[in-house]
Structure formats: structure tokens, C-alpha cells
Amino acid sequence: MVLFRSVSALSKLRSRVVRQPSLNSTVRWLQIQTSSDLDLQSQLRELIPEQQERLKKLKTEHGKVQLGNITVDMVLGGMRGMTGLLWETSLLDADEGIRFRGLSIPECQKVLPTAKPEGEPLPEGLLWLLLTGKVPSKDQVDALSKELRDRATVPDHVYRAIDALPITAHPMTQFSTGVMALQVQSEFQKAYEKGIHKSKYWEPTYEDSMNLISRLPLVASYIYRRIYKDGNVIPVDNALDYGANFSHMLGFDDPKMHELMRLYVTIHTDHEGGNVSAHTGHLVASALSDPYLSFAAALNGLAGPLHGLANQEVLLWIKSVVDECGENVSTEQLKEYVWKTLKSGKVVPGYGHGVLRQTDPRYTCQREFALKHLPDDPLFQLVSKLYEVVPPILTELGKVKNPWPNVDAHSGVLLNHFGLTEARYYTVLFGVSRAIGICSQLVWDRALGLPLERPKSVTMEWLENFCKKANA
């Protein structure tokens, strides 16, 4: 017994000291595989007490440290630059872009397990990373793939709820309805009604989160097949991983499209906590609403054109360029079209960002995918031309803080290339992926016992009076 304990302690110790030598110092500790490590929930059970202690220490030792000043501009300007949320799973740097638990996208592409050599990361690996802060082994990811497949059962009433909507209803409306219909199976709600102790909240939250993540591709692909493929639904393939299965159920079995879907789902998962969908999910969950209720609310935020719907808007806009100017549009024509868009009081979709001040690395990795797999695609070439034309024009406008492309500027042309041409559906794909980030953080919200979110609001009169006094 003593020997067993010391072997297991040794393996835990080793798991914290092994590093991937080729990566820079920000890369998290890599762990060595042990058989018990295959279970994600038991890993969390081990991690939670140490993170609870860490939060307690932060509160008691540094609770009164100031993080900056709040200005009137910030209050009137959508809270830009105001640090006000705890979000463990990822952190966004204005110049570098997103890091998932400390790992940049290129680092994730290097260290996360793939389906094939030199391939794109498996989204299950990112889910593991977001939940635990550790890079999983291929065996762990395979076990998680299987667990997600085993959980992927959708009751019939969900499909009937979707079918009650007109087929013309926006795919995001159908998706959000489907998620609300899934909610009747919430384990958290059941446990809460039975009077579960708050220290155990994270457990049914974990169950709901994993069930929700596993079921979303079924609901999402049902909607796609319902609207665009005469309702011919394609069942799960038990031999496939999460991303490939999703692509398969949508009706796309080109191995390159499977790779694209793995990459797509991986990079859209999480973008720290302040963006509209993540923040909405977190806010709603802070009222102890279960993951289904919280995520449905998040989806409704994602459905806005300044947020997730921008991926739909980009492809429609690119196609409108082609309709008006043809595929071989000249740089001059493109400049004119961009100005025409701006002068008609619209934004150039896919450009700009609330936090980023450089090209989004999610754009860059999609561009690399295109250069590798579809360099001659005419719409990809148009996207490349836009990269040269749009930023100087937005800079010339003088008010745009970030003239560079974001994630949505690129995703549509990749999907379009492999036959997923229906732009109105694109935000649903984003939604499937975003569940992975929001739910991972939600498990930690519950584990850390984060409180009800309730910032203070004020009126214009209050601000005027406050400023008068401040300037007196």
C-alpha cells in the first residue's frame, strides 16, 4: 500500500515536471499518462481543492489591491478596458491574441493530440486543456471522444420543438430553441430541486456541460439537414472523433473537411470572458441557472451581427462583391466597394475587434490552412486581397481602433470551399464550438463558488452630478 502510494505520488510529481523541450516557457506542465488519469472528472476532483485554496488566498491577501480607474468613457463605451471578470480558461492579449490556459494557437497545434500525423488538434483535447489546464495524451483524448459519443443522445421532443418552427426561421433561432428543449434533462436543476449542498454544485454542472457539449453536434446537424437537405438526417459514426463526426453528420466526409472542422471547433471555443456570448453565459449562470439555460442565452448573444453572426455576414458580403465586380475584382474596384459599404452606414464585416489590436491569430491559422489545402480557391484569393485593401481604408476612417481582420473574416471561404455554402448556418458552427469554452468555465464558476454577478449602474444625471463635483 505504502509502495503504491509512493509510486502514485512519484507519477504525480513527474507529471508536473516534464516539459515539452521545443516550446517556450509559457507552455503548461505536461503530464505523464497513468491509467487513472483517463477520467477527466477525477482529474477535476483532484484539482478543485487546490484552486479553491488559491482563490481564498488571493481574496484574503490581495482583496483590496486596485486594478485601475473607471472612467466615464468606460461606462459610456461598453465597459472597454475595464477589468471586471474572473475567467480561468483563456486570456486575450491585444497584440498576441488568445491563449488557452497559457497556450497560443500555434502551441496548441504543436502539443494537442491530432487524428493524423501533422494534423489539426482534436477539439476534445482543447476541452481537456480548458478544464484542467493540462495537455492531455492521445489516450486521454480518445477516452474523452468515446465518453462524448456515449453521452450523445437527444430525446425526440427536442427535434419536435425544432420542427414546430417554420423552416425559414434563422438557424440560430432553431439552435437556441433546441438547446432550451434539451434543458428538460438538466441534472443541475434536478439536483438543486432535491437540495444539493453548494459544495457539490460543480458535479451536476459537469454532467450537464458534458452532456450538452456531446449533444450539440446532433442538434446542430439536424437543423442543417432539416433546412438544406430535405430532412435527411445522418446518424453518428462511432468510429469518428468529435469534429469529424460533426462534419460527417452535416454531410461532409472529405478528410480535409474533417480536418477543417477539428481546427474550426478548436479555435472558436473560447476568447476570454468579456465577449458577448461568454459574458452572457457567465452572467446567466451566476444566478445558478443551469448550463443549458446559460448557454442558450449565450447563443442568443452570439447570434448578433457584431459578434458571432459576423461569419455569416462576411461570406454574404464577399459574395456580394463577386456579384457586383466578378471574381477577378481589381484592387481599385475592391477599394471602391469597401468605401461604398462604409458610406452606406455599414461596417466591413470580419474586421475590427473590441480587444485585439493586431491580426487575429485565429485568422492567421485559417489562412495557413487555406494556403496548405486550397491555395487556388478564388474566394480565398479575394479574402487575401481584402487583407491588403481593408486595413488602410479603416485606418483612414480615423476612428476604428483595430483595422485588422478577425476570426470571422476567414472561416466562411474555407467552409464554402468544401461545399458548406449556406452562410446563414455558419453561426451555428461557431455556437457548437463556443459551448466548449463557456461550459468549461462554468464548471469552474461552480467549483470556485463564484458569486451572483451584479455590477452597479448609474444614470446620466448621476454621472453629470458626479463629474460636476469632481471638477469643482
Distant-in-sequence, close-in-space partners of 204: CB < 8 Å, separation ≥ 6: 186, 187, 188, 190, 191, 192, 196, 290
Whether the Cβ atoms of residue 160 and residue 131 lie closer than 8 Å to each other? no
Cell of 435: 459551448
Cell 487524428 identifies what position? 115
CA distances in angstroms from 456 to 75, 87, 284, listed in the order given: 10, 20, 17
- Mark out the alpha helices in 329-377 (DSSP H runs): 331-343, 361-373
Smallest gap, in angstroms, from Cβ of residue 352 to ligand COA? 2
Number of H helices, E strands in the chain: 21, 3
Annotated catalytic residue 241: no
Say which of 258, 307, 410, 417 is annotated catalytic: 307
Annotated catalytic residue 307: yes
| Residue ranges binding ligand COA (CB under 6 A) | 306-307, 310, 342, 347-354, 394, 399-402, 406-408
Q: What angle do CA 307, 406, 291 make, to 5 degrees?
A: 40
Task: Rank residues 38 and 429 by Cβ distance to ligand COA and give the closer one.
Answer: 429
Whether the Cβ atoms of residue 348 and residue 341 lie closer than 8 Å to each other? yes
Say which of 258, 268, 271, 353 is annotated catalytic: 353
Spatial separation of the C-alpha atoms in residues 3 and 244, rounded to whole Å: 43
Smallest gap, in angstroms, from Cβ of residue 306 to ligand COA? 4
Q: Are strands 90-93 and 97-100 parallel, antiparallel or unpaired?
A: antiparallel
Smallest gap, in angstroms, from Cβ of residue 309 to ligand COA? 8
Cell 474523452 identifies what position? 144
Say which of 208, 270, 408, 445 is annotated catalytic: 408
Neighbours of 422 (CB within 10 A): 17
Smallest gap, in angstroms, from Cβ of residue 73 to ligand COA? 11
Smallest gap, in angstroms, from Cβ of residue 400 to ligand COA? 4
Tell the burial category of 305 from Cβ atoms under 10 Å away from its Cβ (0-12, 13-18, 19+).
middle
Task: Rank residues 204 and 274 by Cβ distance to ligand COA and give the closer one.
Answer: 274
Annotated catalytic residue 410: no
Task: Rank residues 136 and 349 by Cβ distance to ligand COA and give the closer one.
Answer: 349
Smallest gap, in angstroms, from Cβ of residue 142 to ligand COA? 33
The secondary structure of residue 137, as a DSSP letter, is: P
Q: Are strands 103-104 and 97-100 parallel, antiparallel or unpaired?
A: antiparallel
Q: What angle do CA 315, 316, 318 make, to 5 degrees?
A: 60
Task: Rank residues 75 and 347 by Cβ distance to ligand COA and give the closer one.
Answer: 347
Cell of 400: 476604428
Whole-angstrom distance between the N-terminal and C-terminal Cα of the chain?
74
Smallest gap, in angstroms, from Cβ of residue 361 to ligand COA? 13
Q: What residues act catalytically?
A: 307, 353, 408
